[in-house]
Structure 1
Amino acid sequence: MITLQLPKVPVPDAVAMMIGTSIPRHVLEAEIDAFGEAREIRRLRPLDSDEDRQDLEDALGRLARANKTLGAYNPLLIVRGAA
């Protein structure tokens, strides 16, 4: 079977706006929260102190809550914390 590797094409802004208006607001907010928490989790990788561990656990909890909303809307929207 031959598989074609198609190049990624950027989505035009007008199309992105149309997609954004078709997704419920709470899902868009959950996506923003999830990406922010994933960035925070990557920032806290070297766990030097107990505060860092607690912050990591809090960020993981917030990411899980946001992912629950995203997964209920569309499982392909789930954000991973580690790259």
Structure 2
Amino acid sequence: MTSQQTIMHGIQIPPVLNVDLHVLPDFTGRVVLYIENGRVTCDRRLFEDEHICALDTFIEMAREMELRIEEVTGGTDSNSNT
């Protein structure tokens, strides 16, 4: 993929990424796109009760709510041979 940029009035404008979304024409809401090498490889509609944040933001929010986060080892899904 070649890099194409438009220069208008001395300002470089990056190329526009055209995206086909898999939603109904009357859809109103939020969509998450996964872009790899300038191409959309996946899109997903977010429901009203879903929110996205970075892990450090999640941890900060949990600390502000005084939630304790602990790493749990073992359990029924763990491999006892390791």
Class of the TM-score when normalised by the shorter of the 2 chains:
under 0.3
Normalising by structure 2, we get a TM-score of 0.23
Normalising by structure 1, we get a TM-score of 0.23
Q: Higher helix fraction: Structure 1 or Structure 2?
A: 1
Larger radius of gyration: 2
